[in-house]
Structure 1
């Protein structure tokens, strides 16, 4: 499974250094220096981790943190020059997953990244939810040892819901993550694919939040 990280840092030297080490560690990295650009990228792409500075042009790190957390539960690591307990407490109050103060040792940062990815399940090549097993690299879904015949889009939707299990994803988020930010279709596209997925899944795992979107629930 490709692990993609969004790095938001306005200091060019730090941004380029961290990006280079993350790529060397095997991750794919989208890096930017502006909060507004980061906001657009988060809608356009699926990320397994966000590394986020606080002092940014455009939307600042706290604004982005609040916005990102409303969308899904992607792990967010704050990487900032702002020291002091009050800044760290504020970040955790806004539901950041970790907090690193500059300057830092790059190897320590990489270990924190690895720990967050492991905790979120992104380092696992196979995802298990009840009797459902997803194999991201081969786009294969198996339920109780029987392979489900899913289209690529159906698998991608199921995978997105599985990565955010229990979290309601809006129609807009699903459209942007699966079909792209500039997709001209509407909610009916999602409804059709969800209907087909439900027909193929033996259990009613996909739940509807009327007027908002869908979430995946592990059967009891």
Structure 2
């Protein structure tokens, strides 16, 4: 299962326990122990889910959540000892997807993780948009049941567009999420990959918003 999860928790024993349980379930897991490290890690790699503590060294979890939401809609599960209404309301106002308080059972945490991944589409064996079908676990895409032969980068771009169907994805977000925070190139690499991707898809399926970015049209034309 090619699902990548980032766990951000400064308590080493909890961090280690959560990582082990997730790995037993077949997930790929990276861990961080402070908010600043987590932000760098999030920019450098695509994750299907982030499990985030609030009380962290460096950037705290609430501020980190706001930063994450500026660049992506990756599901975020807040995992914290803070069970007061104010922190929960603030987290959901910052667009957290779920909130679990310590202490918790690992079985409940795993079910929450599974629910968020299922809701986001990460656990789906296939995602369909009209005649276009993506298979996230195998990085394969077909149109009208024919393999369209996408490269890994083309697949990542198309998957990101589908996840945000109808919304404009800015050039900066594409560069960050597909090529990483420390990528030294420029927007030219996006245009080149987008041209190749469009050559493999029906005309007008991907719309250019000049000077801003790209979006996947709601309806095929």
Return the TM-score normalized by structure 1: 0.92
Q: Is the 8 A contact 1:130 1:218 kept in 2?
A: no
Residue number in structure 2 paired with 1:39: 39
Query: In the alignment, what sits opposite 1:21?
Result: 21
Name the stretch that deviates more: 32-41 or 197-206. 197-206
Aligned pairs, number: 220
Is 1:73 the equivalent of 2:81? no
Give the direction of change, closer, same or farther, for the CA distance of 1:88–1:127 in structure 2 (3 Å limit).
same
Alpha-carbon shift at residue 131 of structure 1 (Å): 1.5
Where does residue 125 of structure 2 map in the other structure?
125
Q: Which residue of 1 aligns with 2:218?
A: 218
- 2:94 maps to what in 1? 94
- Asked whether the equivalents of residues 71 and 169 of structure 1 are also in contact (C-alpha less than 8 Å), the reply is no
Range with greater deviation from structure 2 (119-128 or 196-205): 196-205
The residue aligned with 1:160 is 160
Distance 1:83 1:34, change over 3 A: same
Deviations 1:76-106 (A, max 9, x none): 1000111111111111111111000111111
Structure 1: state its 5+ residue gaps. Answer: none
Contact 1:132–1:142 (CA under 8 A) maintained in structure 2: yes
CA distance in 2, matches of 1:65, 1:165: 22
Q: 1:183 maps to which residue?
A: 183
Residue 206 to residue 109, structure 1, CA distance change in 2 (3 Å) = same
Name whichever of 127-136 and 33-42 sits farther off.
127-136
> Cα distance, 1:154 vs. partner?
1.8
Contact 1:72 1:164 in 2 (8 A): no
Contact 1:131-1:143 within 8 A present in 2 as well: yes
Q: What TM-score does the superposition give when structure 2 sets the normalisation length?
A: 0.91
Structure-1 residue corresponding to 2:105: 105
Q: Which runs of 4+ in 1 moved over 6 A?
A: none
